[in-house]
Structure 1
């Protein structure tokens, strides 16, 4: 068994884990992050794209509201390439209680969340498609963020300080000797190799899977409750700023413009496992109905993809066990030394993507206290490598880039304006990546055709680059299309049915993809998305 040496092992490759990794190495610790799949494949990559101003929680969760308000500007400064400064609105629709606006504005004042009431005329000027029957409107400092771009920016920063990252490495055991964590044993699901990582400390940032990870150390009582929420991407921006209903947080009360689409969300349902998240058709219809309250005619727009994510909520004894909607969004650090007699192990859960840096800071502060170390957090001082302060994301940026290089590299994905050079460059760096791994960084197949044209081009380029034979590359394409289909079947109506039928004719009729060469079972398992 291969052996590695480090100070800290971080378990979980979502925003919280990556934030902890960056914080650790910037304080001078040696750290290795392990993740059972790809970075950002869990909760971080399955949300609606909102960088919270805090407005959503000024009434329901004041502490979280204040944290979001404080971190909103920090994240926008640290991750300019990932954050679009759209601004936001909270509006009272004809279905809502106008008096809730008074509670909202008072809550904003009490929590330090910037908000101001604007006229109905001004709200409609900013967003002409808004329901003309709105009775009140409030401007806030909501922004949108690409969670994957944010994640990879933090990884670049962490690696600059010496961090190591092991994706597709599953934790099999956390070794505890005389009440002290000594090592973390992982299995490479692509390589087949086992690795023992000797360490002084382990930080469990596995989100909704945190309970399963804690059990690897013999700890059974980590009550992280997965709260499933579904979201739907519409095929273009119906709004250019974030639009929220000015009500107590509820299902389908927010519309978020992200890249070239807008996303309606979200439901909140307790589930038993974060590995099996349904996208019920009745909840899809519920989201589309909710969109109509904000944007009349919303249902006439084309839905292009639906997905589900699991919030890692700490069990809240103040509410019913299955009421995830009203569980706190605040972060929680579990000290396993004080609670379970196991030193060298912390679990961090709860929180928001907006507060990922703050969650990491608090966790590493706690770890330093336990270890008797005095190392200050500096993660708010340095922006991500390759970015420029104030040069925030704009929805037109890829169009501008393609105007510059349109004669130098062919377009592979017209929907997302991804060219061949971008694909080849990333495949060189990650030669064993699945197409979904590449999608999370390039947005391959995330436009209206949902991979109908770009996936076969990606497969051809992959084989030309000798990253596999015919069977290998065909399997990559099959897996990619299978994962796209998961988010298509619940929304098959209207124009999306025609698009999906065309894609099906191409792959089942023309290419006969189900009867192309296949790889053996072991190879399929090594390429599967876990």
Structure 2
């Protein structure tokens, strides 16, 4: 059976459900298909840090500005999908003081709130910090619970008429070819075969590929060559009830430089190693030990702790230059790829790259683009409307279970 819709969104991570929500709020008929449960890919395997932008301020002003803007939006609409902890960038002996100063100045230039404190003042507030810490800067970082954020966004999309399908893998994409007078052939992607719980053919005016690290595989179903540059990272959760502030090591991004607190655990991360296959890649035990060793430099009580849980994720990075400069050199920004402009394939758009913090902005960019293609004149409203259940953790966790959105990133919080 063929099911018609305006837009099919493939992928049920933060960006995919964000696109579905945005389009549905503009009156567009939307179907979303996810091969697993929601947040089953990169979103649910992140460290769950809501960036203030400080991590990128001195190196990527535009990316940092986007982070602080979305940080403020999500604080208004996401409620208990977040935890307002604040964050410290900490300088240890051997860390470059000029790097600290450059980050501080860049944050101030971008309007990111910064409060520089001595090491002793920081330890008065957070006794768990190492006595070796020389100084810190406090920034408005926070913790995001990805499972809750995705489930609440999906419920909002559904409240506005979107159909959300989990366990519904797209198995094929179909198109119609038209030959122009000059002999050129344009392909229009018009339909998708979906298995699992749907087992139907979805016929859409436009298809959005929001599959993250798997965007290349999804695009290949439409005959489109899209080369991703995914990197793997490990997160290690250990029991710790004292620390209640996000910690970042104030140095060039490296392994083991982020500590993200939950109620009774902290999540330590992360590595960044290029992989060829986002489903199959090495997971060396030494990387887990390295996370604990490196983060213990900031919080000595972590030294020797046994992991409570460990999980790996793959970042959906895209390198348009294919420069091969190394995994950490690839931009964390997002890219909207219109395949009509790239290779004469109409009706198909991919959204790649980006961060959990900026997922709503990414979705807005996609929705703007799709609405222009469809001739829909409606503005984005996602920044002004709180998410369903935002003020009730029990409701949020019930939505997590309903959408099968439970993920390793916050399993200790949601219980799903």
The TM-score, its normalising length taken from structure 2, stands at 0.92
- Displacement of 1:316 in angstroms is 4.6
Q: Which ranges in structure 1 are unaligned for 5 or more consecutive residues?
A: 402-421, 431-436, 448-453, 459-530
Rounded to whole Å, the distance in 2 between the matches of 1:311 and 1:203 is 19
For 1:185, which of 168, 174, 193 is the aligned residue?
Answer: 193
CA, structure 1 residues 257+110, in 2 after alignment: closer, same or farther (shift >3 Å)? same
Whether contact under 8 Å (1:268, 1:324) holds in the other structure is yes
Structure 1 residue 170: deviation in Å?
1.2
After superposition, the C-alpha distances for 1:99-156 in whole angstroms (9 at most, x for unaligned) are: 2111111221233322221232321122111111111210100000100000011111
Deviations 1:36-78 (A, max 9, x none): 1111110000011100001111123222111100000111221
**3-state SS of 1:154 partner:** helix
Task: Render the CA deviation track for 1:467-515: whole Å, top value 9, x for unaligned.
Answer: xxxxxxxxxxxxxxxxxxxxxxxxxxxxxxxxxxxxxxxxxxxxxxxxx
Q: Which residue of 2 aligns with 1:200?
A: 205
Could you tell me whether the CA contact under 8 Å between 2:151 and 2:405 is conserved in 1?
Answer: no
The match for 1:36 is: 35
Give the match's secondary structure for 1:180: strand
Alignment of 1:257-296 (within 5 A): 257-296=261-300
Provide the secondary structure at the position in 1 that maps to 2:154: helix
**Is residue 328 of structure 1 aligned with residue 325 of structure 2?**
no
Q: Retained in 1: the 8 A contact 2:89–2:249?
A: yes
* CA–CA distance in structure 1, aligned partners of residues 17 and 94 of structure 2: 41
Structure 1 residue 81 displacement after superposition: 1.5
- Is 1:217 aligned to 2:225, yes or no? no
Distance, in Å, in 2 between the alignment partners of 1:372 and 1:439 is 37
Report the 3-state secondary structure (helix = DSSP H, G, I; strand = E; otherwise coil) of the residue aligned with 1:297: helix
* 1:412 aligned partner: none
Which structure has the highest strand share of the two?
Answer: 2
Segments of 5+ residues of structure 2 without an aligned counterpart are 178-186
Instruction: Return the match for 1:251 from 255, 278, 287.
Output: 255
CA distance in structure 2 between the aligned counterparts of 1:426 and 1:92, rounded to whole angstroms? 38
Aligned to 2:117: 118
Instruction: Tell me the equivalent position of 1:302.
Output: 306
Match of residue 364, structure 2, among 361, 374, 381: 361
The CA RMSD over aligned residues, in Å, is: 2.4
TM alignment of 1:407-446, pairs within 5 A: 437=404, 439-440=406-407, 446=412
1:238 CA displacement: 4.6
**Aligned pairs, number:** 405
Q: How has the CA–CA distance of structure 1 residues 443 and 249 changed in structure 2, closer, same or farther, with 3 Å as cutoff?
A: closer
The structural deviation recorded for 1:370 is 2.4
- Who is 1:338 aligned against? 341
Once the two structures are superposed, the pairs formed by residues 474-485 of structure 1 within 5 Å of their partners are none
2:297 counterpart SS class:
helix
Moved more, 378-387 or 265-274: 378-387
Between structures 1 and 2, the one with greater helix share: 1
1:78 aligns to what?
77
Q: Take 2:218 and 2:120, find their aligned partners in 1: how far apart are those partners?
A: 52
In structure 2, the partner of 1:160 is: 159
How far apart are the structure 2 equivalents of 1:101 and 1:443? 30
Kept in 2, the 8 Å contact 1:60–1:248? The answer is no
Higher normalized contact order (CA 8 Å, seq sep 6+, divided by chain length): 2
In the aligned structure 1, how far is the partner of 2:263 from the partner of 2:151?
Answer: 17
Give the match's secondary structure for 2:261: strand
1:166-198 Cα offsets, whole Å, 9 max, x none, are 11111122211122221111111xx5x631011
Residue-by-residue CA offset, 1:339-358 (whole Å, 9 max, x unaligned): 11011111001110000100
Following TM superposition, by how much is the alpha carbon of 1:300 offset from its aligned partner in structure 2, in angstroms? Answer: 3.2
Residue 442 to residue 104, structure 1, CA distance change in 2 (3 Å): closer
Which 10-residue stretch deviates more, 234-243 or 17-26?
A: 234-243
Query: Which shifted more, 126-135 or 137-146?
Result: 126-135
Question: For the residues of structure 2 that align with 1:263 and 1:426, how far apart are their CA atoms?
Answer: 20
Question: Separation in 2 of the partners of 1:78 and 1:68?
Answer: 15
Structure of higher CA gyration radius: 1
